[in-house]
Amino acid sequence: MRPVRFQFRLTHKVAAIGCVGRDRPAAVGVIYQYGTWSQDSARKVAEDARANLGRNERSMRMVWPTPAFAVASSTAPVADTDATTSERAC
């Protein structure tokens, strides 16, 4: 009895090219989806960090309130400097 020998014919080659043509866009889609999942994960971490920062700032204000003199100095009116600059130019 003769051993069975597999022949790689033209139809097999065409089928292999067809599989590659079909699988390549699927691979690109999987890579794209993986990137989207990764970005969503990073955005979620950033969103949680911002939320925790806001909670942390509120709790820090309750523990250490801002002194009255710091608030008063930050809201003080600014002097008009246009007059002084025009006098210097003369």
Please report the pLDDT score of residue 34 as a whole number: 93
Residue 89 included in any domain: no
Residue 22 included in any domain: yes
Q: CA 23 to CA 34: how far, in whole Å?
A: 16
Mean pLDDT of 66-75: 57
Residue 31 included in any domain: yes
Residue 33 included in any domain: yes
Instruction: Assign 78 a pLDDT band (cuts: 50, 70, 90).
Output: low
Q: CA 22 to CA 42: how far, in whole Å?
A: 31
Mean pLDDT of 68-72: 58
Query: pTM of whole model > 0.75?
Result: no
Residue 90 included in any domain: no
> Does the pLDDT of residue 7 top 70, yes or no?
yes
Share of the chain above pLDDT 90, in %: 21
Number of domains in the chain: 1
Q: CA 78 to CA 88: how far, in whole Å?
A: 19
Residue 68 included in any domain: yes
Residue 49 included in any domain: yes
> Does the pLDDT of residue 2 top 60, yes or no?
yes
> Does the pLDDT of residue 32 top 80, yes or no?
yes
Take residue 73 and report the two structure tokens written for it: 């100095």
Q: Is 19 left (phi over 0), alpha (psi -120 to 50) or beta?
A: alpha
Residue 4 included in any domain: no
Q: CA 7 to CA 13: how far, in whole Å?
A: 11
Domain extent for 47: 12-75
> Does the pLDDT of residue 52 top 80, yes or no?
yes
